Structure 1
Amino acid sequence: MTDRIERVTAYVAEIPRDVPYLGPLRAGETVNRRGYIVRQGNRTLYPTADRSVLLRIDTEKGLTGWGETYGIVAPEAVRAIVDDVLAPVLEGRDPFAPAVIHEDLYDLMRVRGFFGGFYLDSLAAVDIALWDLLGKRLGAPISTLLGGCRHERIAAYVSGLPKATLSERVEFARDWQAKGFGGFKFAAVVADDGAEAEIAALREGLGPQARIMADLHWRHTAPDAIRLIRRLEPHGLAFAEAPCAPEDIEGIAQVARGVGVPVALGEELRTVHEWQPRFAARCMGIGQPEMGRTGITQFVRIGALCQANHVAVMPHATIGVGIFMAASLQASATLQNLPWHEYQHSIFAPNLALTRPTGTRHMACEAGFYTLPDGPGLGVEPSEDLLARIGA
C-alpha cells in the first residue's frame, strides 16, 4: 500500500481544573493575566488549567494518526513550528518510516541550535502520530512494532499529594493506598513543613511497606541535596528525583555518589544526545524519560541506553490529554528494567473521557497497575468531546 502524508494539523487543547497542578496556591503565589503561577518553591511557571498540543496527520488514503506533546506553557509556539516548519516538509512523504523521518526533521534545525525546547517537543508529537499511523497500517499495537510486549501490567506510583496541609496529604495518600497503590511521591516544593517532616508523616501514616519517593524539583546545590537526602534515608526513601539544576551535571553526579538511594532524573531531557553525558557522569540510578518530550523513537533509544548502563526506567507522566500517555504505556511495556511508571491521578482518570479505545479495551490504572489498550497503533484516539473542544 503506497500512501503519502496529505495534511499535518496542530491543535491546542485547554482543560479546566479545580485545583492548580501541585495543589492550592501558597503565600506569595498569584495568578497572572495569562493564567500562570510562579511556584515560589522552585521558581517555575505552571498554568492554572491543563494545556496540551495535539497533532493530527492525515494521509491521502484516509488514514489518521494522532500525536501529542508537552504544551502547558506557550503552546502556540509548538503550533507555529508545526505550521511553518514541519508541515510543509512532511507533506507528500511516505508516513510509514517514523524513525527515518524523526532523524530527517532533527537535522533540519540542528545547526541553528534547536536540539531541544519547543522544536523537539514538536518533533515528539509528529513522531507519536507517525508510529500511530504505522500501527494502524499494520493492524498492530505499537508495543508489537517495537519488538513485543514484556509487561501486560505496569506498576504505577501515585505522583503528587495536592492538599493544603500535611495531615490532609497523608490522608490523601492513605486513600490511594486503600485502593491498592503501593508507591507515593511527594513534591518537596509544596512540603510546607520541610521534606523531612513530610516523609516522616507519610511513613507513619502509610506503614513500613509503602514505597515513598521525593521530588526535589531541581532546588538544591549538591552539598545541600546530599545533606537533605541523607536525612530522608532513615525514613525509607525509595529515590530522590531532580536534586540539582538540570544543567549541573557534575553536581548531580556528586549527589549520586554521596547518597545511599538512587537519584532519578530525565523528564526535561528530549534526546539521547542530552542523556549520554549524564550516563557518562553516572548521574542516575533511575531514568525518567517523558514521552511528551521525547516521542517514541527517542524514548526507545533512551530506554536502550538505560538498559546498557544498568539504569532502571520509571517513565515520567506530565500534563496532557491522554494521547502521549498511551504512547508511553505502549513503549514502556517493551522495556526490561521497568519497576514503576508515574501515575498522575489528577490527569489520567479525567483523560479517559477525552480519549476512546480503537480496540476492545481502553487503557486503565486500577489497584496500582496500568493496563494497555489493545487496539492498533496507540490503541486510543481523541473522543468526540475532545475533538469538539479543539475544533477538529
Structure 2
Amino acid sequence: MEPGRLRPGHWQETLERRAARRAGLQRHRAFRRWLVDCDAARRFDGMRVQVRKDGTRIRRGENGTLESRNRVNAKTRGNAMKRQFAQITTVWGCVFMAMNAGTKAAISSTTSSCVREVSVVSFKDPKGRAMSALRLVDQTGAEGCWVGDFLRGMDQPEGQAGLDKIKRLDAAHPEAAWDEMGRRGLHTPLGRAADIAVWDLHGRRLGKPVGALLGPAKRDKVKFYMANFPDMTAAQNAQAIKEAQERKVLGFKIYTYFPRPHDLRDPESPEAAKYVESDIQLARALREAAPEGVKLMFFNGNSYNLNQALKVGAVLDELRYDLFCDPMPVKGDAGMAAYRQLREKIKTPICSPLNGGSLEDHIAWIESGATDMGETDLYAGFTTCLRFIRECAKRGVALDLHAGFPMDLYHFPLYGFVDDATLPWIGWHGRSLKAIPAATEFKGAEVKPPKQPWLKRSQTRPVDAEGYVHIVYEIPGMGLEPDWEWIRQNEIKK
C-alpha cells in the first residue's frame, strides 16, 4: 500500500468503532442511573420516621440514635457520593479497557449475522424442469437456502449485481432485511428467494424452526383441502371429490383457468365466451358429485369480465358454492370497483386478489370492501405474507394462503401462530389424495426423505383420520434441507 493512502474498509471500520464506543457509553449511563436508584433505596432501608410534637421529622437509624432529617440526608448523600465515585471509576476503567483492547471483538459481535457469501446454482429436476437454488452464508458459517422456480439472468451482469446487493444483509432481523432489500431495489423474484433464505439462515443459526420463532403456538392442527390440476377431466375431479369425502377433507378447490391458450385468456376475446359455458357445466357436475359437508371453491384466475363473472356467480349462488376466487382482473382502481359491484350482486363470498401487489395494496382491497376474504401467496415474499396475516388477524378477516409447488413447501411455518379464524385451512394440489400420507395415530412430525431428489429431508404433513394436518416443527430453519451434491450433479451448464 502506498504511504499516506488509507487501506480499503478504513472508514467502515471507523464507523463501527464509533458505534461500539457509543453503545458502551449508553450502557455506562444506564448503569450509573441504576446505581443512584439503588443508593436511594438503601438510604431509607432500616430507618423509621418519627414526628415530634413541634412537627419536626426525625428518623431512627440502625444504630438506634436519633438524627434530624437534614443531618441524615447530608450524611447519606456524602456516603453515596463516595461509593458512586469508587464505582464509577471502576466502571470507566472497564469501559476504556473494552474500547481499547476489545474493540474488534465488539465489532465482530455486532456483524456476526451479516450475509457474507451468496451463490446460485441452476439445475434440472427429474422431469426436466429448470429450477434454481440460492445459498447464503453469514460470518459465523451458518447458511440459509432456498430452492424453487428458475431464476433468470443470474449469469448476466444484472444478475450478479443483484447477488451483490444481498450481501451484508442482517440475517438476525429478517423483517428488517426485507425492508432493506426494498430500498436496494430487490423486491424481485431474486429478492423473494433471498427473503426465504434469510429466514432459513436465521432459524438455523438459532437452531430453531422458523414456525416456532414467529410467535406462541395457537393451535396444533389445521383443516386440509384439496385443489385439482386444471387439466383434470370432470370424471377425475369427481373421483378426487369422493376421496376427499372418505378422508374427511374440508373442501375441494376447482381450477378452470390454466389449460386455456394464451390468446383466449383475454376476457374480451370473442372466443373466450365459450369457456364461460364450459366452466358452468363443470361447476354443476362437481356440485352433483360433492356430498353435503364438502366445501366447494371455484378458482378462475382473473379471466372473466364483469358480465361473465356475474353470470358464473349467479350459478354458484344457485349451487351453494362456498367461495369464488379471482374471477376478474385486479389491476388498478377499475378492477377494485368491478369487484365491489360483483360482491354487491352475488351471495357467494369472494376471495381476491392473489396477485395484489404490495402489502398496502392487499390491505386496501380489504378496507375498500372489494373482497370477503384476503388472498396471497409466497410469490409476494415470505415477510409480506407474514405481515398480511398479522393485519388480517387484527381486522378479523380470514385469509387463503394460496398453495402452488414449489413455493408451498415454505408456507407451513405460517400456520402455527394464528388461529382458524385467520387461516382456516391449508391446501394441497394433486390428482389423488393417495399421495398424501395418512396418519392413524399421530405422535409427532415425521421427517423422512421426500420424493424430490434435490431435498435430503423435509417436514412432512400427514393428514389424520379427521382430515387435519398436524402442525409440528422439528427441522431448524424453514423445514427443508437441500441435497447440494445432487443439485450440482444436475447443474445446467452455461
TM-score of the aligned structures, taking structure 1 as reference length: 0.77
Aligned to 1:342, what secondary structure does the other structure show? strand
Cα distance change of structure 1 residues 309 and 53 upon mapping to structure 2, 3 Å threshold: farther
- CA deviations 1:38-76 (Å, max 9, x no partner) are xxxxxxxxxxx65544321122322111124554xxx31
SS at match of 2:376: coil
Flag the 1:78–1:263 CA change in 2: closer, same or farther, 3 A. Answer: farther
Corresponding residue to 2:135 among 56, 80, 91: 56
SS of residue in 1 equivalent to 2:121: strand
What corresponds to 1:201 in structure 2?
Answer: 285
Partner of 2:442: none
| 2:477 alignment counterpart | 377
Using the size of structure 2 for normalisation, the TM-score is 0.62
Pair 1:353 & 2:451 matched: yes
Tell me if the contact between 2:366 and 2:372 (Cα under 8 Å) persists in the aligned partners: no
- Hey, what's the Cα distance between the residues in 1 that align with 2:350 and 2:147? 28
Counterpart residue number, 1:142: 210
Higher Cα radius of gyration: 2
Which of 353, 364, 369 is the matching residue for 1:277? 364
From 172, 180, 189, the counterpart of 1:104: 180
| Contact 1:142 1:377 survives alignment (8 Å) | yes
Unaligned runs of 5+ in 1: 18-48
Ranked by relative contact order (alpha carbons within 8 Å, sequence separation 6 or more), the top structure is: 1
- d(CA) in 2 for partners of 1:80 and 1:318? 28
Offset at 1:281? 2.0
**SS state at 1:330 partner:** helix
Change (3 A) 1:234 1:272: same
Given residue 188 of structure 1, which amino acid in structure 2 is its aligned partner? T
- Alignment equivalent of 2:220, drawn from 142, 146, 152: 152
Q: Which letter maps to 1:165? A: T
- Please give the alpha-carbon distance, in whole angstroms, between the structure 1 residues aligned to 2:319 and 2:156: 47
Alignment match, 2:329: 245
**Aligned residue type for 2:196:** I
Structure 2, gaps ≥5 residues long: 1-108, 260-274, 437-448
- Identity over aligned residues, as a percent? 17
RMSD: 3.1
- 2:122 is aligned, of 3, 12, 22, to 12
1:257-294 deviation line (CA, Å, top 9, x unaligned): 22212211233235303313312322222222211x12
Which sits farther off after the overlay, 59-68 or 234-243?
59-68
- For residues 273-316 of structure 1, the C-alpha deviation after alignment (integer angstroms, 9 at most, x for no partner) is 3313312322222222211x122211111112222333211210
What is the CA-CA distance between 1:183 and the residue it aligns to? 0.9
Asked whether the equivalents of residues 123 and 491 of structure 2 are also in contact (C-alpha less than 8 Å), the reply is no
Equivalent residue for 1:387?
487
Aligned equivalents of 2:350, 2:155: Cα separation in 1: 34
Q: How many residues align?
A: 343
Going from structure 1 to structure 2, the CA distance change for 1:201 and 1:78 (only over 3 Å counts) comes to: farther
1:250–1:281 contact (8 Å) kept in structure 2: no
Name the residue aligned to 1:315: 401
Pick from 394, 408, 411 the counterpart of residue 325 of structure 1. 408
Q: Deviations over 1:139-180 (max 9, x none)?
A: 222122111232322222111245553223212332343344
What is the CA-CA distance between 1:374 and the residue it aligns to? Answer: 1.6
Residue deviations 1:114-136, cap 9 Å, x none?
8xxxx432221111111111111
Which residue number corresponds to residue 335 of structure 1? 418
Q: Displacement of 1:384 after TM fit?
A: 5.8
